[in-house]
Amino acid sequence: MKKATFVLAPDSFKESMTAKEVCNAMEKGLRKIFPEANYIHVPMADGGEGTTQSLIDATDGQMYHLNVTGPLGTTVEASYGIMGNGEIAVIEMASASGIQFVTQETKNPLVTTTYGTGELIRACLDKGIKKIILGIGGSSTNDGGAGMAEALGARFYDAAGNTLPRGGGALGQLYKIDISGLDSRLSQVDIQVACDVTNPLCGEQGASAIFGPQKGATPEMVAHLDSSLAHYAGVIRAQLGKEVAITPGAGAAGGLGAGLMAFTQCTLRKGIDIVVEYSGLCDKLAGADFCFTGEGRIDYQTKFGKTPYGVAHSAKAEGVPVIAVSGCVGDDVEALYDEGIDTIFGIIPRADNIEALLKDGPLNMERTCENIARLLKTALDN
């Protein structure tokens, strides 16, 4: 083999390694056998947790931390990134409004708010950013994005002219939306929303019914939230002239999808497609000999838009073979062979407890990739 080029494009391994750390471990193992090869690191993500870190790492960008309003109204530390070109921000809504900020005792989708997500967007506007990649997974909220809009200057009133309390539970009282104070810079900003669900805002497949329970909604709460969001969509339709009730994706992140559609210039796309585009993966794959990808767990669900799926499709377009390496090889991975993933290896060396396996992730990834390289070399030399 001529001087080989390996593109390393894994997702993060949750609770074990960032995507960049996976890249490093992969290279360390491969380099033992192919010391002269080119190694191109493309830390990946699929719009979910780790997307900011990966896109920052992939482009030598910078992470920023700031205090914002958490989902329960208390202050939390959140973060966003600005990619290496200085022009594109990356936000995960969960960083400000995620489910990790509520406990079994405090979770209450009637009151949780996306206000902090709006504050992160405002922080990007303050930096002159014109394009934002926004991952909306992992939310604790069911407020239709009203909190996000409020943080950016929108005002929500009841029939008596009082400001509505935050949270989806109050939206049934919404009488008037005032967008006169909405941050004018928003109209100049393109928000690329990483959204893998197509749920509408309301109804049986809506935000409240499908995602409410995992945020703590009882059946009674689900019914109340669903009718509140339907009312909210009606007010938006009447006063802002936008249809957000039935648009696919409107129900994502407790209706944050709908709020983004109502108050910002946004495009909803599959998270992996956004990351593939902005990581520059395709250019980096051109002429490569092998592409390595992976994620903490790989299974048949991977083909519904997770990182190895997206990487494999990009690699196939360039004619590059794809080797997936995963912490957990789940059920029916055979379904992935047809999706461009040529081969799949697990990294677990032995029966052990999950904590030890997560901790040993880098070593196990390194050893596995060394042995994959050994097999490649054996085959190529044969």
Catalog residues that contact a second copy under the rule CB under 8 A: 1, 289-290, 297, 321, 323, 327-330, 333, 337, 342-354, 357, 367-368, 371-372, 374-376, 378-380, 382
Q: In 3D, which of 303, 342, 307, 300 has the Cα closest to residue 321?
A: 342
Give the DSSP letter string of 156-194: EE-TTSPBPPSSGGGGGG--EEE-TTS-GGGGG-EEEEE
Least spacing, CB of residue 16 vs a second copy, in Å: 11
β-pair partners for 75 = 69
Least spacing, CB of residue 2 vs a second copy, in Å: 11
- Measured from the CB atom, the residue of 102 and 357 that comes closer to a second copy is 357
Least spacing, CB of residue 12 vs a second copy, in Å: 18
Largest CA distance in the chain: 82
- Measured from the CB atom, the residue of 102 and 376 that comes closer to a second copy is 376
Quote the tokens at residue 142: 């069911």
- Measured from the CB atom, the residue of 104 and 382 that comes closer to a second copy is 382
- Measured from the CB atom, the residue of 6 and 156 that comes closer to a second copy is 6
β-pair partners for 265 = 190
Cβ-contact 288, 320 below 8 angstroms = yes
First vs last C-alpha separation in the chain? 12
Cα 163 from Cα 173, distance rounded (Å): 10
- Measured from the CB atom, the residue of 137 and 327 that comes closer to a second copy is 327
Residue at token pair 């491969």: 30
Quote the tokens at residue 231: 């009312």
Beta 75-82 vs 88-92: how paired, if at all? antiparallel
- Measured from the CB atom, the residue of 60 and 355 that comes closer to a second copy is 355
Least spacing, CB of residue 29 vs a second copy, in Å: 11
- Measured from the CB atom, the residue of 160 and 351 that comes closer to a second copy is 351
Residue at token pair 């910002």: 264
- Measured from the CB atom, the residue of 187 and 382 that comes closer to a second copy is 382
Least spacing, CB of residue 302 vs a second copy, in Å: 14
Quote the tokens at residue 156: 């929500």
Cα 255 from Cα 270, distance rounded (Å): 17
Q: How far is CA 258 from CA 227, 335, 357, in A?
A: 15, 33, 40
- 216: helix, strand or coil: coil
Least spacing, CB of residue 380 vs a second copy, in Å: 6
